[in-house]
Amino acid sequence: MAPSSTLISKLKVQLKLSISRLRMTQQKDSAIAKQQRRAMAQLLEQGKDESARIRVENIIRSDLTTELLEILELYCELLLARAGLLEAKDCDPGLAEAVHSLIYAAPRTEVKELQAVRALLAEKYGKEVALRAAENKDGLVAKRVLAKLRVEPPDERLVEEYLRTIADV
C-alpha cells in the first residue's frame, strides 16, 4: 500500500505542476495570438489577402492548441479532485476518459509536466493500459481531444470566418 500511496502523492504533485504550466502556456499563447491578429488585420488593410489567408491557418492552429490545453487542464483538475479513486488497482470508469486522454495527448504537447503525469499514470495502471491509451485502441480518448490534435488543414469556411472576424476588428 505504501508504494501506491507514494505514487499517488507524486502524481498529485505533478498534476498541480501541470495545471500551473498549462495555465501559463495558455496565457502566453493568447498573448501571441493577439499580436498575430493585429498583424493579420494590417495585412488585410494593405490588401494582402493571400498572405493573410496563409497566416490565418497559424492562428487557427494556435487557437486549437489553446483549447486543447484548457481541456487537459480540466482533466488534470478532475484527477486531482478525485485522487481518492486513483488508489484503486484498476482505472475507475469515471476517470478512464481523463486518464486515457492525458496519456494520449501528453507526447503531442510541449508541456514537460504532462510527460511526468503520463509516466506516473503508466506506472500506476501498467504499460499495457498506457500503450492502449497512447494508440486509443479502446476509444476512450475524448473526441474533443482527438479533434484538437488533428493535423489536417482547417476547413475553408473556418478560414473565411477568421478572416472576416479579424477584418471587422
Entry pTM? 0.90
Dump pLDDT digits (tens) for 22-71.
Answer: 999 999 999 999 999 999 989 889 988 888 888 899 999 999 999 999 99
Q: Is the pLDDT of residue 4 over 80?
A: no
Spatial CA neighbour of 108 closest among 54, 72, 138, 156: 72
User: What is the rounded CA–CA span in Å between residue 148 and residue 130?
Assistant: 21
